[in-house]
Amino acid sequence: MTVGDPRSGTGAGSPDGLVIGLHERVLERQLQELLHRRADARAVIETVDAADAPHVLSRHVAGHLAHALAGAEEGDRVDLVNRILGLLPENPAVVLDGPQQLLSLYPRQGQPPARPTTPLSDVALLTNSPRDPQLGTELKRELASADRVDLLCAFVKWSGIRLLARELAELRDRGVPLRILTTTYIGATDRKALDRLADEYGAEIRVNYEARSTRLHAKAWLFYRRTGYDTGYVGSSNLSRNALVDGLEWNVRISQPATPSLIEKFAATFDSYWNAPEFAPYNPQRDAARLDEALREARGGPTAAAATASGASIDTTLLDVRPFAHQQIMLDDLAAEREEHDRHRNLLVAATGTGKTVIAALDYARLARQARAGGQARAGGQSGRPRLLFVAHRAEILTQAQRTYRDVLKDGSFGELFVGGHRPTIGAHVFASVQSLSRIGQLQKWVRDHFDIIVIDEFHHADAQTYRRILDWFEPAELLGLTATPERADGVDVADEFFDGRAASELRLWDALEADLLVPFHYFGIADNTDLRSITFRRGRYDAEELTRLYTGNDARTRIVLRALTDTVVDVAAIRALGFCVSIDHAKYMARKFTQVGVTSHAITSETGSAERADLLRRFRAGEIRCLFTVDIFNEGVDIPEVDTVLMLRPTQSATIFLQQLGRGLRRAPDKAVLTVLDFVGHQSAEFRFDLKLRALTGASRRRLKRDVEQGFPFLPAGSQIVLDRAAEEEILKSLKSTLNLSTRSLISDIRSHLPAGVSAGEYSLATYLNEADRGLADIYGDSSSRTFNGQKRARSWSALKDWAFPDAGLSLRDDEIELLGRMRAFTHIDDGARIERYRELLRADLPSDRALAADPYAAMLFYQLRPTAPASEIAATIRRVRRMPAITGELLDLLEVCEENARTNPEPLRGLEDTPLRSHARYTREELLAGAGLGTKHMGQSPATHMSGVKWIPETSTLLLTVKLRKSEKDYSPTTMYRDYAISETLFHWESQNRTKPESDVGKRYIDHKERGIKVVLFVREGETDDLGTEPYTCLGTADYVRHSGSKPMQIEWKLQRPMPAKLFTVARTVA
């Protein structure tokens, strides 16, 4: 190879041609010898992940082969290829002399279809330059031979449709499906173009009506061919004349033979968009008015409100309201609280602007369906739905809430207002202001249980006297509180006061960002050179007085703040910033210092009167004041969408407070593209935990967080960035290393320090410690499988840690107990109530006979969790022996208590397999799910420990178990292995069979004909091999039905789930955010 050839990894500028820099070359003997001779450099070498090895090695061989063929005589090339092919295990057909290519196969009476100028197997960059084929011409030729076409195009113009009219008509005449995804962004799409595509050319069209952002700006075509030679174009050209003919547009042509992973990603991503609720089906006869309105609004024309004034309103109750992924997660959590935990006073916490009212309306619709199904609906005067009271403090909130409920229920007459001059006449479904309800004598007009469901918006006001009277009077079957800020300015958390310290669901920030409901953030972590290590730090907080003295006497820190602000924003004089300070004195100090340098600022605190506060907010919105400094006032309640900058001027460990402060700036507003966040990082106390707020900010797992910091946070939601300066990065990494890899000695000390007064070491439960110390199960059971203390090595477990922490408490562990402690972490995932309760019974209730135990599937699951490789004949003896081990039974019962409290699933029996203990949406280890299906007990010849493949056929029960790992490679990103198994929608799953499976084989027919044969297919999915607690468990998606397949060896199969997958898992399993 020549010097500089990328296949060789060599280049000019070094004695041996091996250049300093990034490489990606398979290690060969020659390369290894070169590296040994390079004393001036260090090499980073890693083993290729097994999932990536076929692609990496075939690419390596292809490079060598291409070089060899280029240097061979023309007559020797075919012989060389055949000799190489002859070495392969499945000897392919011999290449004939020439060589020649088959270019098409067509009916004898017809004509060969037109071919694109670019060969089907090649890639190309088309720029509409004089030497390139025009994109429009290439598209016409691609359409001529396509068997299916997908188009993703931000704008569809009439001028582009005209150019492709003949080819589109021929496509229709050949019965070729055409799917189109487009948007209303900036109003650029022509409705006439969409109408013609739908009516005249039979296209299926789906439209994203969200006009606030540029979320979808892609332009791409994909042409499927039954021959397998799929091709696509990805680039800058919309469907317009200029883009297709003479615009300065760049488009990359991809193909299945040359870039299979890109084609697979295109197909998977398109299908995910197609099935996403953001894209609504477009029917010209039904949806023309809605599209016209959306395009008009996007262009800045008259809005729906103006149209309504003229009597030309659009009836939105005809449209389906489907939840975003983050809203469905919260709905799932609510269902679990009610159905699994029997909790009927629930709090939802979500940032302003993320659709809390939509969630409440969807939740009401679900409760109404359940009431009708159970015959529990009371006569409410309107469709027999449960009686509803929705409470808020402003008329516009109530009007919007009523509109939302009407849209969700598709009932334009639902509900009555009780605010201002409006009074309810029926009183079944009331949207009432707190002021109207709290008038003297008003509450007494209602019987206490009149309303089945009460929803209170902005629940953080609930301790105000007016709200308190409402809560004390009514006795609803369901109470739902909505708030963005559960912690009030007085430090009281409404979750503690009204909901037993528990929020039913809290919005994950990254979910709302991925749904494009909030503006993206640019977060800058900046070292401020302050040393906080001498400041008193207790229970997650620094002493406020000590911090105030340090910060208000430190002009150097203030100069760092001002310089950072100047370096990160375009125009300091145009910002609208909120600064969160440690105290009132600190807020006043910062306002004074900013004003002195020309940034008009003011402090707004609990000392500020209501009239003055209103005036300051007015001046802030008007741009007269550029920065407001506060302590806690803006943690709650105040909504100022114009805020574009947030200054974190105090060290905040609490993820809740951090997100509340961040949320003040994430609301969308005109001309606001991004929120700038400046967080000033000092030298922290050893106990200060950066991991809490960073995980809240990014959604990263414990294992990935440290790697994300080192790699610059590569997987944030689109548009968001986290930038740490070098000193801040070092400080954060140092903290993360000590926090996430807590030494055994430090953890033992922490356990001792959190022992509650009056509680003995023996009574000290795992749940108590985790709650008091704000830690999770991963702190006890995660990372490596063992810990060492004072020369003793034991498996990670609560019992071992307590024994070390309290050596004089008489907790000594027996040898047989120590042996089983290593299996405790295998129980940390359990999340369904039936399994938790049955495991408890097996550990402490009266046991049945040995024969009954041997036939109990829960006993088998528990047994194989404890002893994965033991024979089933030892089930009864093992369980009886474990019950005589106080450390093991105590820890398992402790763990089950924590698992029950953490559970957010709503499991259901499997359809057609109700006699098994397996439940859809619950999580299982491999041993549990196989034992639950009968392996090792009903089917004695098979043991769960001996089965390792992803497919298990159980002929005795005609059951097919499919276990799927979504992330094949342990790398964070592996483009060649990502699109094999994934969720297309909440109910459709794309699965790839084992490599040798053909459709015509017995196994392939079992998949295709499973319904006719009475075979139940059960799908289990996990993201990767391991998580923060060791081996990752599988989530049971339930039973599934065959839909379609393609390919052979392996087969690609689409399964339709009989129950939609959990929304939280769907956000992981789908291919796009």
pLDDT of residue 461: 67
Average pLDDT rounded to a whole number, residues 242-262: 77
Provide φ and ψ at 609, rounded to 5°: -70, 160
pLDDT of residue 215: 59
Which tokens belong to 995? 């490599």
Q: Please say if the pLDDT value at position 191 is more than 50.
A: yes
Task: For residue 1058, name the pLDDT band (cuts at 50, 70, 90).
Answer: very high
How is the chain split into domains, by residue range?
124-294, 325-507, 513-740, 744-822, 949-1073
Architecture of domain 513-740: 3-Layer(aba) Sandwich (3.40)
> Is there a contact between 181 and 189 (Cβ–Cβ < 8 Å)?
no
Average pLDDT rounded to a whole number, residues 301-315: 43
> What is the rounded distance in angstroms from the CA atom of residue 146 to the CA atom of residue 789?
67
> What is the rounded distance in angstroms from the CA atom of residue 838 to the CA atom of residue 858?
7
Name the residue with tokens 């024979």: 871
Q: Please say if the pLDDT value at position 112 is more than 60.
A: yes
pLDDT of residue 801: 94
> Is there a contact between 807 and 889 (Cβ–Cβ < 8 Å)?
no
> What is the rounded distance in angstroms from the CA atom of residue 1037 to the CA atom of residue 1047?
24
What's this model's pTM, rounded to 2 decimal places?
0.79
> What is the rounded distance in angstroms from the CA atom of residue 1073 to the CA atom of residue 1070?
8
Name the residue with tokens 């390369």: 31
Find, among 1018, 1014, 1025, 962, the residue nearest to 991 by Cα: 962
- Tens-digit pLDDT profile for residues 473-493: 999 999 999 987 776 555 556
Average pLDDT rounded to a whole number, residues 228-232: 91
pLDDT of residue 971: 60
> What is the rounded distance in angstroms from the CA atom of residue 772 to the CA atom of residue 755?
9
Q: How big is the CA angle at 722 (ends 551 and 43), to the nearest 5 degrees?
A: 115
Percentage of the chain surpassing pLDDT 90? 43
Query: Residue 508 has what DSSP assignment?
Result: -
Which 3 state secondary structure label does DSSP give 746? helix
Which tokens belong to 898? 């924590």
> What is the rounded distance in angstroms from the CA atom of residue 1035 to the CA atom of residue 658?
31
Task: For residue 1017, name the pLDDT band (cuts at 50, 70, 90).
Answer: very high
pLDDT of residue 3: 34
Residue type, 825: R
Which tokens belong to 815? 């040898």
> What is the rounded distance in angstroms from the CA atom of residue 150 to the CA atom of residue 223?
7
Out of 289-293, 553-557, 972-976, the most confident range is: 289-293
pLDDT of residue 1008: 97
> What is the rounded distance in angstroms from the CA atom of residue 219 to the CA atom of residue 473?
57
pLDDT of residue 429: 96
> Is there a contact between 962 and 1019 (Cβ–Cβ < 8 Å)?
yes
Length of the chain counted residue by residue: 1073
Going by their DSSP bridges, the two strands 1052-1057 and 988-992 should be labelled as: antiparallel
> What is the rounded distance in angstroms from the CA atom of residue 209 to the CA atom of residue 189?
11
Which tokens belong to 1036? 């049971």
> What is the rounded distance in angstroms from the CA atom of residue 481 to the CA atom of residue 626?
34
Helix (H) or strand (E) holding 363: helix 356-373
Q: Please say if the pLDDT value at position 836 is more than 90.
A: yes
> What is the rounded distance in angstroms from the CA atom of residue 552 to the CA atom of residue 590?
8
Which tokens belong to 328? 């469905």
pLDDT of residue 376: 62
| Residues in CB range of 588: below 8 A, 6 or more apart | 603, 605, 629
Query: Residue 574 has what DSSP assignment?
Result: G
Going by their DSSP bridges, the two strands 786-789 and 792-795 should be labelled as: antiparallel
For every residue of 64-125, which 3-state class applies, written as one string?
A: HHHHHHHHCCHHHHHHHHHHHHCCCCCCCCCCCCCCCCCCCCCCCCCCCCCCCCCCCCCCEE
Q: Is 239 exposed, middle or buried (0-12, 13-18, 19+ CB in 10 A)?
A: buried
Find, among 386, 406, 322, 318, the residue nearest to 359 by Cα: 322
> What is the rounded distance in angstroms from the CA atom of residue 277 to the CA atom of residue 208?
9
> What is the rounded distance in angstroms from the CA atom of residue 1000 to the CA atom of residue 319?
44
Position with higher pLDDT, 1040 vs 396: 1040
Task: For residue 90, name the pLDDT band (cuts at 50, 70, 90).
Answer: confident
Percentage of the chain surpassing pLDDT 70? 90
Beta bridge partners of 150: 179, 222
pLDDT of residue 704: 80
Which tokens belong to 614? 């209103």
Among left, alpha and beta (phi > 0; psi -120 to 50; other), residue 116 is beta
> Does this chain's domain 124-294 share its CATH topology with 949-1073?
no
Q: How big is the CA angle at 109 (ends 108 and 111), to the nearest 5 degrees?
A: 85
Q: Is 435 exposed, middle or buried (0-12, 13-18, 19+ CB in 10 A)?
A: middle
> Is there a contact between 661 and 635 (Cβ–Cβ < 8 Å)?
yes
DSSP state letters, 366-420: HHHHHHHHTT-----SSTTPPPEEEEESSHHHHHHHHHHHHHHHT-TT--EEEST
For every residue of 219-268, which 3-state class applies, written as one string?
A: EEEEEECCCCCCEEEEECCCECHHHHCCCCCCEEEEECCCCHHHHHHHHH
Going by their DSSP bridges, the two strands 453-456 and 416-418 should be labelled as: unpaired
Using a CB cutoff of 8 Å and minimum separation of 24, what contacts does 231-235 make?
Answer: 231/116, 231/120, 231/142, 231/255, 231/256, 232/262, 232/263, 232/266, 233/126, 233/135, 233/138, 233/139, 233/142, 234/262, 234/266, 235/126, 235/135
- Tens-digit pLDDT profile for residues 983-999: 999 999 999 998 889 99
Q: What is the CATH number of domain 949-1073?
A: 2.30.280
Q: Is 373 exposed, middle or buried (0-12, 13-18, 19+ CB in 10 A)?
A: exposed
- Tens-digit pLDDT profile for residues 545-587: 998 999 988 889 999 999 999 999 989 989 999 999 999 999 9
Name the residue with tokens 């559970």: 903
- Tens-digit pLDDT profile for residues 294-303: 999 888 765 4
> What is the rounded distance in angstroms from the CA atom of residue 800 to the CA atom of residue 374?
49
Domain over 325-507 is classified CATH 3.30.2010.10: no
Average pLDDT, the chain: 85
- Tens-digit pLDDT profile for residues 645-678: 999 999 988 877 888 788 888 888 888 889 999 9
pLDDT of residue 506: 85
Q: What is the CATH number of domain 124-294?
A: 3.30.870.10
For every residue of 658-699, which 3-state class applies, written as one string?
A: HHHHHHCCCCCCCCCCCEEEEEEEEECCCCCCHHHHHHHHHC
Inter-axis angle of helices 875-882 and 857-866, nearest 10? 70
Query: Residue 957 has what DSSP assignment?
Result: G
Which tokens belong to 339? 């159905």
Find, among 989, 981, 1040, 1050, the residue nearest to 1015 by Cα: 1040
pLDDT of residue 2: 37
Find, among 631, 634, 632, 563, the residue nearest to 599 by Cα: 563
> What is the rounded distance in angstroms from the CA atom of residue 132 to the CA atom of residue 249?
12
